[in-house]
Amino acid sequence: MIRAISYHLPELCLTNQELAQLYPSWPADKIFEKTGIRTRHIAAPDETASDLAALAARKLFAEHAIAPASIEFLIFCTQSPDYCLPTTACALQHKLGVPSSAGAFDFNLGCSGYVYGLGIAKGLIAGGMARRILLLTGDTYSKYIYPMDQSTRTLFGDGASATLIEASDEPNGIGGFVFGTDGAGAGNLIVPASGARKVCELPEQADGGVSSACPALPRQLYMNGPAIFNFTLDVVPPALEKVLQMNGLKMDNVDLFVFHQANKFMLEMLRRKTRIPQDKFYVNIEDCGNTVSSSIPIALARAAADGTLKRGMRVVLVGFGVGLSWGATVISW
């Protein structure tokens, strides 16, 4: 079961007013109207995703009286690792004072990553490999974004989260999972020259052309907005239906839906399509934007803090995005 969640956002903020000065066709109020975002937090030049994740972990330890020495496994979901090697989770183990008897590894996923992380943690517990797992998520997409790319710079914010998952006798802690993958769309959300392949072919012929705003440089984030939007509309409603069926639930049995907090426009469209009532559909991105794999845990922590999410509630989580990859599950809070 999920025992506790904390999160951390970097100090520096990027407001719509600042962005509107760069993009004359997009006034600040228009950016907010479409994205639902007023400001996003941006990591400092010398601040990495693991720094943010370490701060989130320390908050978790402090806010919930958790001893780092009690952690048996550390998993870090990031697409902004400190190095290609070693694994960032190893550095975090040392930095956080997690015992050397703990396993630690990174996994590379974005918006679907938190659901995958819960799945991995559940598997480690079920397999008898660990009983207390620290799941960290953290990303700094801002470091990949071309400053003039209004379609990505308006959406993404940096951030990190820390979740403690514990073995529990409660049967319904973390329920059944739906996972899905469509690597055919890998090129639709990508930093092309970020790994060994160096330069990847963007799918200009196959699915519509260059980045929605500007040509991405090889080490910058490329997003084919229309393709990602279509992908989301295609996969999320069936994934939601499947995860409900698998867990023996109907829409009415669910107390809250927390989807990957992509942006207001996409979330509203998904909500209408899946006919989720507005009061059961949590959106909280105004001051942080789309924080990739941290968006679901940040939303959960905020929903708990503002009273929306109460003990005993049944919550459906759906993550979707870069990969292309998606995952859904049901948790009891």
Partner 1 sequence: MGRNGYFVVNKKGTGMMTQHDKITELSEIFEINASEIVPGKSLDSLRWDSMAMLSVIAMANEKCGKRISGAEIKKMRTIQDILDVLD
Q: Which residues are catalytic?
A: 111, 260, 290
Angle of helix 295-305 relative to helix 113-126, nearest 10 degrees, comes to 80
The helix/strand/coil state of 167 is coil
> Residue 255, exposed/middle/buried by CB under 10 A (0-12, 13-18, 19+)?
middle
> Which one among 167, 200, 246, 251 touches partner 1, defined by CB under 8 A?
251
**Which residue number, 86 or 226, has a Cβ lying nearer to partner 1?**
226
Stretch that binds partner 1, among 45-53, 133-141, 160-168, 238-246 (CB under 8 A): 238-246
> Which one among 171, 199, 275, 278 touches partner 1, defined by CB under 8 A?
275
> Which one among 238, 255, 264, 304 touches partner 1, defined by CB under 8 A?
238
- Interaction of residue 91 with partner 1, rule CB under 8 A: no
The helix/strand/coil state of 311 is coil
- Interaction of residue 278 with partner 1, rule CB under 8 A: no
Q: How far is the CB of 331 from partner 1 (least distance, A)?
A: 20
List all residues 6 or more positions away from 316 whose beta carbon is below 8 Å from its beta carbon. 240, 243, 244, 249, 254, 256, 257, 258, 328, 329, 330
Q: How far is the CB of 301 from partner 1 (least distance, A)?
A: 28
Residue 39 CA from chain centroid, whole number: 17
- Interaction of residue 244 with partner 1, rule CB under 8 A: yes
Q: How far is the CB of 207 from partner 1 (least distance, A)?
A: 5
Nearest to 2 by CA among 185, 94, 133, 192: 133
Nearest to 231 by CA among 294, 157, 179, 181: 181
Beta bridge partners of residue 181, listed in sequence order:
325
The helix/strand/coil state of 42 is coil
The helix/strand/coil state of 30 is helix
> Which one among 101, 169, 196, 250 touches partner 1, defined by CB under 8 A?
250
Angle of helix 49-63 relative to helix 88-96, nearest 10 degrees, comes to 40
**Which residue number, 161 or 263, has a Cβ lying nearer to partner 1?**
263
- Interaction of residue 227 with partner 1, rule CB under 8 A: yes
Sign of the dihedral through C-alpha 312, 8, 161, 38: positive
> Residue 241, exposed/middle/buried by CB under 10 A (0-12, 13-18, 19+)?
middle
> Which one among 252, 278, 307, 311 touches partner 1, defined by CB under 8 A?
252
> Which one among 94, 198, 219, 272 touches partner 1, defined by CB under 8 A?
272
> Which one among 99, 226, 248, 277 touches partner 1, defined by CB under 8 A?
226
**Which residue number, 170 or 252, has a Cβ lying nearer to partner 1?**
252
Q: How far is the CB of 307 from partner 1 (least distance, A)?
A: 27
Show contacts with partner 1 in window 109-128 (CB under 8 A). Answer: none
Which residues contribute to the site for partner 1 (CB under 8 A)? 25-26, 34, 150-151, 188, 206-209, 212-213, 224-227, 229-230, 233-234, 237-238, 241, 244-245, 250-252, 265-266, 269, 272-275
